[in-house]
């Protein structure tokens, strides 16, 4: 499981666009919810279908499944449970809670002569919805139908990932966007100090602070630290942490969270407070953790830097 909530761990499979570094295959995180089966003649089938889909999808090399126990734990205190009531409108909230990029839900029902399982695939970042269906006789084997449905779902998620998952912005595009927002305004001297911790192993260097400082420099800001003769006009401080989620084959997934605050040194006024969670996958745990922190810092920088010159 790849989910790390503010005070606990679970498993989510990817950062930004759920992609790995280097030559590793792309990986997508998927959460399977209980299928709606309210009709009396199929009342017990909804949870069974979800369990079977979970098992079959877990065998797909390019999918990482949020485990049912961890999914239930993440949603336990929320209005949404494991039922099939998740909608495109609530998908973003569920994705944020569970770390999943794609949600799978649906319905099981019978007619006089056939058993139907209808699946709905929802992108938590794009709200795009796709459907799949399998059917058999009224006494059809639920295991076989679920296996066939899992194959269709896996094929859809892989083939349509570009519409199910938000496009990742390249670093140079992000810098260009920030520069455009800054315009020709005078840029203040800025200091950055983000304390960082990776649970389980010692952190060698602060990835979030490094990425934030790099983007500031690329955008034309002057950086200052304790040894600089220039004193900062704005201080950016914060905390960041990351943690290993799950290993799948040679891949390691880590989720990270960054919380920052920008303060005007002269007045003491808080310019902005923000936070970001992100996930990344790599063959090395520390690289995955640092990439997740790097991704989160980039997201924060794009939102924060224009506020420094307002």
pLDDT in tens, 172-229: 888 999 999 999 999 999 999 999 988 766 666 789 999 999 999 999 999 999 899 9
What pLDDT does 248 receive?
64
67-79 per-position pLDDT tens digit: 877 777 666 645 5
Domain 2-164 architecture:
3-Layer(aba) Sandwich (3.40)
Q: Of the candidates 149, 65, 55, which has an alpha carbon nearest to the alpha carbon of residue 99?
A: 65
pLDDT at 18 over 50: no
d(CA 47, CA 33) in angstroms, rounded, equals 8
Does pTM surpass 0.75? no
Q: Where are the domains of the chain?
A: 2-164, 171-309
Pick the more confident residue, 250 or 191. 191
Q: Tell me, what's the pLDDT at 8?
A: 30
Distance between CA 67 and CA 176 in Å, rounded? 39
Sign of CA dihedral 287, 13, 244, 257: positive
Residue 43: per-residue pLDDT: 85
109: CB partners within 8 A, 6+ apart? 37, 39, 42, 115, 116, 118
Of the listed ranges 37-41, 121-125, 187-191, the one predicted with least confidence: 37-41
15 has a pLDDT exceeding 60: no
pLDDT in tens, 259-282: 999 999 999 999 999 999 887 878
* SS3 assignment, position 121: strand
Average pLDDT, the chain: 83
Given this model, what pLDDT does residue 78 score? 55
Q: 93 or 132: whose pLDDT is higher? A: 132
The verdict on domain 171-309 having CATH code 3.30.750.24 is: no
Predicted pLDDT at 101: 87
């Amino acid at each position: 499981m790849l989910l790390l909530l503010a005070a606990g761990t679970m498993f989510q499979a990817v950062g930004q666009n759920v992609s790995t570094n280097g030559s590793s295959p792309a990986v997508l995180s998927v959460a399977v919810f209980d299928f709606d089966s309210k009709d009396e003649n199929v009342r017990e089938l909804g949870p069974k279908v979800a369990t079977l889909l979970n098992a079959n999808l877990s065998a797909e090399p390019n999918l990482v499944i949020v485990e049912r126990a961890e999914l239930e734990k993440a949603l336990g205190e929320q209005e949404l449970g494991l039922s099939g009531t998740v909608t495109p409108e609530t998908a973003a909230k569920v994705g944020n809670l569970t770390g999943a990029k794609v949600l799978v839900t649906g319905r099981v029902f019978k007619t006089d002569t056939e058993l139907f399982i209808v699946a709905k695939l929802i992108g938590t970042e794009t709200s795009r919805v796709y459907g799949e269906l399998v059917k058999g006789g009224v006494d059809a084997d639920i295991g076989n139908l679920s296996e066939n449905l899992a194959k269709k779902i896996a094929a859809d998620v892989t083939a349509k990932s570009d519409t199910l998952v938000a496009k990742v912005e390249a670093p140079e595009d992000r810098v260009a966007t920030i520069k455009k927002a800054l315009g020709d305004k005078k840029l203040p001297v800025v200091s950055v100090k983000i304390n960082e911790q990776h649970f389980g192993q010692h952190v060698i260097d602060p990835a979030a602070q490094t990425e934030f400082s790099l983007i500031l420099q690329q955008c034309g800001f002057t950086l200052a630290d304790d040894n600089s003769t220039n004193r900062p006009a704005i201080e950016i401080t914060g905390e960041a942490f990351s943690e290993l989620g799950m290993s799948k084959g040679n891949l390691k997934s880590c989720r990270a969270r960054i919380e920052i605050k920008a303060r005007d040194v002269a007045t003491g006024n808080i310019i902005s407070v923000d936070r970001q969670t992100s996930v990344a996958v790599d063959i090395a745990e520390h690289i995955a953790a640092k990439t997740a922190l790097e991704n989160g810092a980039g997201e924060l920088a794009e939102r924060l830097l224009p506020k420094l010159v307002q």
